[in-house]
Amino acid sequence: MYPFPTLNHDQLLTLASKTRAAAQDHDPDRLETDALRLFQSLVDHVLAERPVLLHTPPAEARLLERGQQRVVSLLVELAATAAERPDECRCDRVAEELVAELALQADDERLALVTGGISW
Protein backbone atom coordinates (compact mmCIF):
# COMPACT_ATOMS: atom_id res chain seq x y z
CA MET A 1 0.00 0.00 0.00
CA TYR A 2 1.17 3.52 -0.80
CA PRO A 3 2.27 5.27 2.41
CA PHE A 4 0.63 8.65 1.70
CA PRO A 5 -3.00 9.63 1.24
CA THR A 6 -3.82 10.15 -2.42
CA LEU A 7 -6.57 11.91 -4.32
CA ASN A 8 -9.13 9.89 -6.24
CA HIS A 9 -9.98 10.43 -9.90
CA ASP A 10 -12.73 12.96 -9.21
CA GLN A 11 -10.48 15.01 -6.94
CA LEU A 12 -7.75 15.01 -9.59
CA LEU A 13 -10.27 16.20 -12.17
CA THR A 14 -11.28 19.02 -9.83
CA LEU A 15 -7.64 20.10 -9.54
CA ALA A 16 -7.25 19.88 -13.31
CA SER A 17 -10.31 22.09 -13.77
CA LYS A 18 -8.83 24.66 -11.39
CA THR A 19 -5.59 24.55 -13.37
CA ARG A 20 -7.54 25.05 -16.60
CA ALA A 21 -9.36 28.03 -15.06
CA ALA A 22 -6.02 29.62 -14.13
CA ALA A 23 -4.82 29.12 -17.70
CA GLN A 24 -8.00 30.63 -19.11
CA ASP A 25 -7.65 33.61 -16.77
CA HIS A 26 -4.03 34.08 -17.93
CA ASP A 27 -2.95 34.09 -14.28
CA PRO A 28 0.64 32.77 -14.33
CA ASP A 29 1.10 32.68 -10.55
CA ARG A 30 -2.11 30.75 -9.95
CA LEU A 31 -1.37 28.51 -12.94
CA GLU A 32 2.05 27.64 -11.56
CA THR A 33 0.63 26.93 -8.08
CA ASP A 34 -2.28 24.85 -9.39
CA ALA A 35 -0.13 22.95 -11.89
CA LEU A 36 2.42 22.06 -9.20
CA ARG A 37 -0.30 20.88 -6.83
CA LEU A 38 -1.88 18.81 -9.59
CA PHE A 39 1.50 17.36 -10.57
CA GLN A 40 2.30 16.30 -7.00
CA SER A 41 -1.15 14.81 -6.53
CA LEU A 42 -1.05 13.04 -9.88
CA VAL A 43 2.37 11.52 -9.21
CA ASP A 44 1.19 10.24 -5.82
CA HIS A 45 -1.95 8.82 -7.44
CA VAL A 46 0.01 7.06 -10.19
CA LEU A 47 2.48 5.60 -7.69
CA ALA A 48 -0.37 4.38 -5.49
CA GLU A 49 -2.07 2.75 -8.50
CA ARG A 50 1.05 0.97 -9.68
CA PRO A 51 0.60 -2.19 -7.58
CA VAL A 52 -3.05 -2.39 -8.61
CA LEU A 53 -2.17 -2.06 -12.30
CA LEU A 54 0.27 -4.95 -11.97
CA HIS A 55 -2.76 -7.19 -11.43
CA THR A 56 -4.34 -6.24 -14.75
CA PRO A 57 -3.55 -8.07 -17.98
CA PRO A 58 -0.17 -6.87 -19.35
CA ALA A 59 -1.54 -5.31 -22.54
CA GLU A 60 -4.18 -3.38 -20.60
CA ALA A 61 -1.63 -2.27 -17.99
CA ARG A 62 0.64 -0.92 -20.75
CA LEU A 63 -2.22 1.07 -22.27
CA LEU A 64 -3.15 2.52 -18.89
CA GLU A 65 0.46 3.41 -18.16
CA ARG A 66 0.79 5.14 -21.54
CA GLY A 67 -2.34 7.13 -20.75
CA GLN A 68 -0.89 8.15 -17.40
CA GLN A 69 2.30 9.25 -19.14
CA ARG A 70 0.32 11.35 -21.65
CA VAL A 71 -1.42 13.15 -18.79
CA VAL A 72 1.87 13.78 -16.97
CA SER A 73 3.52 15.00 -20.19
CA LEU A 74 0.71 17.46 -20.86
CA LEU A 75 0.93 18.78 -17.33
CA VAL A 76 4.70 19.22 -17.59
CA GLU A 77 4.27 20.97 -20.95
CA LEU A 78 1.67 23.31 -19.46
CA ALA A 79 3.76 24.20 -16.42
CA ALA A 80 7.02 24.58 -18.34
CA THR A 81 5.55 26.72 -21.10
CA ALA A 82 3.73 28.94 -18.63
CA ALA A 83 6.89 29.44 -16.55
CA GLU A 84 9.46 29.82 -19.35
CA ARG A 85 7.49 31.65 -22.04
CA PRO A 86 4.30 33.08 -20.53
CA ASP A 87 3.74 35.46 -23.47
CA GLU A 88 3.94 32.52 -25.94
CA CYS A 89 1.95 30.08 -23.81
CA ARG A 90 -0.74 28.05 -25.50
CA CYS A 91 -1.94 27.40 -21.99
CA ASP A 92 -5.67 27.45 -22.77
CA ARG A 93 -5.33 24.72 -25.40
CA VAL A 94 -2.93 22.59 -23.38
CA ALA A 95 -5.09 22.90 -20.25
CA GLU A 96 -8.19 21.84 -22.21
CA GLU A 97 -6.33 18.85 -23.61
CA LEU A 98 -5.05 17.99 -20.12
CA VAL A 99 -8.55 17.94 -18.60
CA ALA A 100 -9.90 15.87 -21.51
CA GLU A 101 -7.05 13.33 -21.33
CA LEU A 102 -7.35 13.08 -17.54
CA ALA A 103 -11.10 12.46 -17.81
CA LEU A 104 -10.54 9.70 -20.38
CA GLN A 105 -7.76 8.19 -18.28
CA ALA A 106 -9.93 8.22 -15.17
CA ASP A 107 -12.74 6.45 -17.04
CA ASP A 108 -10.33 3.89 -18.49
CA GLU A 109 -8.81 3.19 -15.09
CA ARG A 110 -12.20 2.86 -13.39
CA LEU A 111 -13.36 0.43 -16.04
CA ALA A 112 -10.15 -1.61 -16.06
CA LEU A 113 -9.93 -1.84 -12.30
CA VAL A 114 -13.61 -2.72 -11.82
CA THR A 115 -13.51 -5.24 -14.69
CA GLY A 116 -10.39 -6.77 -13.20
CA GLY A 117 -12.24 -7.28 -9.91
CA ILE A 118 -10.24 -4.61 -8.16
CA SER A 119 -12.03 -1.80 -6.39
CA TRP A 120 -10.20 1.52 -6.66
Domain 9-115 in CATH 1.10.12? The answer is no
Q: What is the mean pLDDT of residues 55-84?
A: 90
Q: Domain coordinates of the chain in residue numbers?
A: 9-115
The model's pLDDT over 100-116, given as tens digits with 9 standing for 90+, comes to 999 999 999 988 876 54
The model's pLDDT over 16-53, given as tens digits with 9 standing for 90+, comes to 999 999 999 988 889 989 999 999 999 999 998 888 88
pTM: 0.86
Cα 9 to chain centroid, rounded: 9
Q: How many helices (H) and strands (E) does the chain have?
A: 4, 0
Q: How far separated are the first and last CA of the chain, in Å rounded?
A: 12
User: Which residues, at least 6 apart from 62, have a Cβ–Cβ distance to it below 8 Å?
Assistant: none
| pLDDT at position 1 | 56
In this structure, the dihedral spanned by the alpha carbons of residues 77, 80, 81 and 84, taken in order and rounded to 10 degrees, is: -160
Alpha carbons 17 and 22: distance in angstroms, whole number: 9
The answer, yes or no, to whether residue 3 has pLDDT greater than 60, is: yes
Alpha carbons 98 and 38: distance in angstroms, whole number: 11
